[in-house]
Structure 1
Amino acid sequence: LPKKTQRTSSAVWTVHFGYDNNARPSLDRLASVLDDTNADVIGLLETDTAKPFFGNNDLTSYLGEKLHMFIDFGVAQHIGKRGSRSIRGTLLYMAPEILSSHPYDNRVDLWSMGIILYECLFGRSPFVFSSADELVEEIKSNIPIEIPNDTRISSECRNLLEGLLQRDPNRRISFQDFFRHPFIFIDLSFQIIRADDLFQRSITYEQRGDIKKALDYRVRALDEYVAIIKVDEDHDRKRMLRMKVKEGLAAAEILKKRISQMNLNSASASTTVSSSTENLDLKNNKELFQAYQHCLNGNQLMNIARFSQACEEYQIGLTVMLRAARTETDPVKSKILHDVISFYLNKAEICKDKNEAQQLDIDIEKIKEDTALDNTMLNESNFITERQQRASSHQNCCLQ
């Protein structure tokens, strides 16, 4: 071997390199595995067992559905919303954020998928290295991954590979867009049925008077429709979906106003109880003092519209307070503690509503941005078509 090597798994060499159709079936299989985990497992594609299956037609054909059980081999890690900092997995397939000791989440598997796809397409790793230390520096580098200009690779495949191999996880393709990508997902019929079902549920909840659920399902349906518009080649259906999204956004804004009015009425009608802790002797109860501080932190975060973090602070504080209330024997202190708990439970409920509303606002704005981009692209496309038609007409006139 030369001093500098571009290492790849030996099993990957069974693929006919440069033809993305040969890689697509195996990629679909791994995508199915990722989909089954509900994006809640980390490091699934960083195990040694995952790489040999990709491109090894004999093994994948033999294992079939058993691939789902075998691929992990006990190395994958379940994570919560806070992510992880521990290093695990095969070095070559590790995402930059893992090796940089930054907090990371399940998006590391999207990077691993990109490395695997790159190997299958070009027969080598995207990194040139002669030692583990050099490999680590290559992965952590800020230089964009260079994808060879191979005419045998489709534009859809190249687009997906570029999205997967973004070093910054915030710029990397999302799980949602990955599963919707035209290189992965071609038949839109199921996605359209799912979007229609979400839309119908929204209408049902609105008729029942559950406005919050109605808005939630409406936004989810619109998000699905926008995703379909991005990849659909049926122009008549795209036109119909654009109209549906436009009307849906208008309806979503009306639902938002109704929810805001409901929250306003609820807040004004809520019972006012004391939050004074004067007689609780917090100085001599460190745990209760810290719990109360968490609730005060929640107040401050809520005042600056950081509702998600505020909810976490309220939850931490209230958990400790509720535990203390169950063991408090002094009637006076017990009454004060229950009043404080009631006060912050009410605050936490309001904060939760505001957090949900804020998230829905973000989702709606994202849909609006995508819709605006789609309209811009549509206008550009129409302009090009009109220009071509004028050029053709001018040419015909000259010929006449």
Structure 2
Amino acid sequence: MAAGFAPPKLAEFILTERLGSGTYAIVYKAYRKNDNREVVAVKVVSKKSLNKASTENLLTEIEILKTVKHPHIVQLKDFQWDSENIYLIMEFCSGGDLSRFIHSRRLLPEHVARRFLQQLASALKFLHERNISHLDLKPQNILLSGGMLKLADFGFAQYMSPWDERHVLRGSPLYMAPEMVCNRQYDARADLWSVGVILYEALFGHPPFASRSYAEIEEKIRSNRPIETMLVVEAVSKDQSGDYAAALSLYCQSLEHFVPAVHYETDAQRKEAIRKKVKQYISRAEDLKALVASNNKISFAQAKTTRDLLKEMSRGSPRLIAGLELASAAVAKEEEGDDGHDTLDLYQQSLGELLLMLAAEPVGRRRELLHGEIKCLMARAEYLKEQLKMRETQAEASMDRDPLSESVKSSCCVQ
């Protein structure tokens, strides 16, 4: 069934758009031919593509899905066959897969990742209590429907008691447990490693051991070198380009993840390696904090000159003068070290007034200056929002007794 072919025909369903495909199957969106036009997903497996092993896998998948009913597992509604294909009629999940969801948002907030992990854990607990292991857990096999996570694609699933051992390599290399990759002998606990990799990808936007071969993955898993997060990579990039405020923010966000990693790491060598990285990032954050403070003073002085000129040009516009006075008050509070909600409120009030004035301002020198002033004030407001958000996150971290955590808080508190 090549990509250009029309969907196959089913007596009770109208198959429409193609949702995805794999080695043995293509999944279509479909409508039931009755009054309520129920929407389903139909997994079409070509009989010609099946060998002995894949036939056994398909039969196991059907057997498992027929017996399990759980809110976080995709439901098998029916299965049919004809001379060409086998059809699995599945529950339709309108939200796509978790991989697409993560990539569309770059990374997920912790509270969203936590909720998804709870749902995935609930599904796995249900399966493992019935001696069923999925063995191909990855974001592409987790679907979303109405904000709920649904575990799907049981093509590699097996009945396994907790300590049963297997030697057949199953699943996707990026998400495979070390015992699968390194010695190909594993038991039902292999699913738990995959869950950890999925959680990492949800929080950081990429899996921890991206590699091109089994050998490379094994080398990375065995290595004591700490995993660099995308936040750190972006921080270094911003640092090198001279965007020190953005770099400081990114270093601080990454440290919020590294510090708990030091706390919970049990391997002494890994713990020390991560600790060295954290100290390196804290040191750079301290340097950046000084640079940002210095740049702030320069930008405040430059902005004041422009603002004074605008005030001179706005003598006949009391509302514009009032907006500029609010901006001056916000800047003064920030210069005094008040980078809290009150200062942010002043920035937002001044922007509200000045944006209204800009909309009515005719083309000319004053409009150019006003446009530049608004851009500057927006940048300051966004910067303050970022600082407030970081402080709130650090407060939630509740690691007050950890000296390393205290260093992070000190480095990431910009005056």
TM-score by length of 2: 0.39
Which protein has the bigger strand share? 2
More helix by share: 1
Greater relative contact order, per chain length (Cα 8 Å cut-off, separation 6+)? 1
